[in-house]
Chains A and B, each alone.
Chain A
Amino acid sequence: MIGQVLVNGILLGGIYALVSLGLTLIFGVMRIINFAHGQFLMLAMYATYWLFQLYGMDPYVSILIVVPLMLVIGMGAYRMIIQPIIDASEMTHVFATLGLNLSLQGIALFLWQGDFRGIRTSYSSLVIHLGPLYINIPRLIIFLCAIAAILALFLFLKKTYTGKAIRASAQKRVAAQLMGVNLSKIYMIAFGIGIAIVGLTGAVLMPIYEVFPSVGSLFALVAFVVVVLGGLGNLGGALVGGIVIGVVESVSGVFIAPALKEGVYFIIFVIILLLRPTGIFGKAVIR
């Protein structure tokens, strides 16, 4: 049983890591906590759903459309909402993204009502057995996507000019500008990439979760916990933080009580922050 519990926890951690990756990237670069993160996930899930319903497109194939779509949406959202307030106070950022959160949820409810919409594929319940263990294939795919996304993002930030410009902007805004980096354009690209990752997440979540207007809120809270735990802006930290939360949740759910599992991981979260306030891999920011 302990083996299965750990497998379930690690796979759950992969979901949490992928959900929080875009959030940690955006914060790492722009120091903005995107409270609309969950609603962008909701939009991506709806996009995947409608591509399946209207065109019979498999969720994994729809990644080719949903990811670029969310990239454009993310860049558009940055240009219209975030850019005008980028130099404003943190409270303004909070209210702007919270307002975006509520607006997107309201629009989704208006367009698609509160109905639960799910996708039924031939592989949603596909399971492979390794001895006494079982592994749900869609969940394994999500875990592998999380690793692939982190690696791809790491290589992009390390090897490409735009990636280096993003890193430079994250490290020292003014110095990056002096070096010729167009900060506005780089922030827009970074925000867009963060939301594009959310697009990937939405597409791979659809085989196992239903979409409805407030589904994003369910994922958003744990995403914030994972981001802070792993270290704000740290990609590897998002994976480690996600797996820590997933395993703690799974183990405590089985060996303590399912009703207490969220409480247990929050307690562990607080303990880790007390010992290491910047998160597992975070670095202190000098203002």
Chain B
Amino acid sequence: MKRFYFLSFALILTILPFQAVAQDSVKIGCVLPYTGALAWQGQETFRGVQLAAEMQNKRGGVHGKKIVLVKGDSETLKTAVTETERLINMEGIKIFAGWYSSSRAKVATTVTEKYGAIACIVIAVADDITERGYKYVFQPQGRATLWGELSAEFVGKEAAPKLGKKPSDLKVAIAYEDSDFGTSISVAFARKAKEYQMNIVAQEPYSLSALDLSPVVLRIKQANPDVLALTPYVRDGILFLQQAKDAGLSPKVLICPGGPLANDVFGEKLGDDMNYMLVTTCASHDVRKEAFQPEAWQALQEFVERYTKEFKKPPTNDAYHGFQGAWTFFHYGLPRAKSLTPDDIEKSMRSLVLKPGENITTFGYQAAPMGHKNAGANLIGHPNVFQWQKGSIGHLVYPKEFAKSQLMLPMPAWGQRAMK
């Protein structure tokens, strides 16, 4: 009898998580790392996605149906796969918007493609995600090649003159966490830097889970670079910068080609020492209103207001990413589709073209066609370069047509970076 009650209880527990959804709703899977080492990023990205869904629902939803987000936890690569599969098989979901982390996005989209589900990757930029010829995978925020290349281009065109040097005079060190994300961006940065004839004096990958990054710091310090391109996640980024400060490693230019250094937690931890550091990211903060169409500007402001009201702080970089990727999908891609089947959504996303300023990003949208090396990637997903100034990352310095702030270089030594 006890066994019967136990089995019944267990059965009820397995059924409970299934979300009963009304006929006037559409379920969209949102697989993100809600637990584990990337939980903070996953949480922030989800906030952006959720606000995009709420804002679109306020505008009538998609095809008259309300968007209902169904969460799946991609704490590890393995759970990225199993959770995606669970949502497809158990919840019947065929539309996805999610996957922070390139490694997780890559493995999970093998599942979505297998089942013919549409996958909009809100923020994961590794090139090889879209190098597999998958029909149903879209990467609206651009890809690592564009992020890495733009960062190197920025160093060559904008940073070098500020140092009174030609690009070929610059000594450049590259340090990065060694997953798909850090590697793909850093490889692209190095490639472009060599085109500008910059001297790569150190290239140091490291494990994301390392508890000590002093070996990386010491190797780079020995190379004595002018420029350091650092692509970490958050925890390791803070650790690296603290240990760089201990060691007195202070290049004249420090740029994060991949985005995480834009998170406020860096400012909270390092204070004025974050000033002068540069971050490449596609977030749309500190942008000029004149560069946007009125509807896009209004949507962007609404997102900022909603986020600030709900979470009592300005949107984080990852929240912007989540919102931007999801908004492109929920507001443009899905409504344009003839129906909400994966094939019709695919046609819509493939044919959608948005010029810079027409969307809530500075770079517009145009998906690479089938047959392209990166089918599904946003061909014009060029990110922006921001600089920490006066304790805030919200200072866009490049591209200049969107920028409100002035670039300030060279970066002073640790402890001398206070700005009035």
A214: chain B residues within 8 A (beta carbon): 35-37, 39
Contacts of B351 in A (CB 8 A): none
Pick from A105, A210, A258: contact of B206, CB below 8 A: A258
Interface segment out of the listed B6-14, B162-170, B244-252, B400-408? B244-252
Q: Which of B164-192 contact A (CB under 8 A)?
A: 178
Q: Which of A54-62, A195-203, A246-254 faces chain B?
A: A246-254
- Docked complex: A124-150 residues within 8 A CB-CB of B: 124-125, 127, 134, 136
Chain A residue nearest in CB terms to B219: A254
CA distance A222 to B265 in the complex (A): 26
Give the complex CA separation of A218 and B38 in angstroms. 13
Is A116 positioned at the interface, with any CB of B under 8 Å from its CB?
yes
Which of B229-266 touch A at CB < 8 Å?
Answer: 234-235, 238-239, 242-243, 245-248, 265
Contacts of A208 in B (CB 8 A): 242
Query: A276 contacts the other chain (Cβ, under 8 Å)?
Result: no
Q: Are A262 and B210 in contact (CB under 8 A)?
A: yes
- Do A258 and B35 contact each other (CB < 8 Å), given the known contacts A134-B246, A219-B211? no
Interface centre among A15, A105, A210, A250 (most CB of B within 10 A): A210
Residues in chain B near residue A254, CB distance under 8 A = 215, 218-219
A41 to chain B, nearest CB (A): 12
Chain A, interface residues (CB within 8 Å), range: 35 or more
User: Which residue of chain B has the shortest Cβ distance to A254 in the bound complex?
Assistant: B215
Across the interface, A113 reaches (CB within 8 A) one of B43, B178, B215, namely: B43
The bracket for how many chain B residues form the interface is 35 or more
Which partner residue on chain A sits nearest B245 by CB separation? A125
In the complex, what distance in Å separates the CA atom of A121 from the CA atom of B280?
29
Given contacts A127-B246, A259-B178, contact A213 B39 (CB under 8 A): yes
B39 touches A113 (CB 8 A): yes
Determine if B116 is an interface residue (Cβ-Cβ < 8 Å): no
Taking CB atoms and an 8 Å cut-off, the chain A residues in 266-287 that contact chain B are: none
Cβ of A185 < 8 Å from any Cβ of B? no
- Please tell me if the beta carbons of A253 and B234 are within 8 angstroms of each other in the complex: no
The reply to whether A261 and B215 contact each other, CB–CB distance below 8 Å, is yes
Residue contacts A-B, CB under 8 angstroms, 26 given = A4-B218, A4-B247, A109-B34, A109-B35, A113-B40, A114-B41, A115-B43, A115-B265, A116-B238, A118-B268, A209-B239, A210-B235, A212-B37, A212-B235, A214-B35, A217-B37, A218-B209, A222-B211, A249-B212, A253-B212, A253-B216, A257-B205, A258-B213, A258-B216, A259-B178, A259-B206
Interface residues of chain A, those whose CB is within 8 Å of chain B, are 1, 4-5, 8, 12, 15, 105-106, 109, 113-116, 118, 120, 124-125, 127, 134, 136, 208-210, 212-214, 217-219, 222, 246, 249-250, 252-254, 257-259, 261-262
5 tightest A-B contacts by CB?
Answer: A114-B39, A253-B215, A258-B206, A114-B40, A8-B214
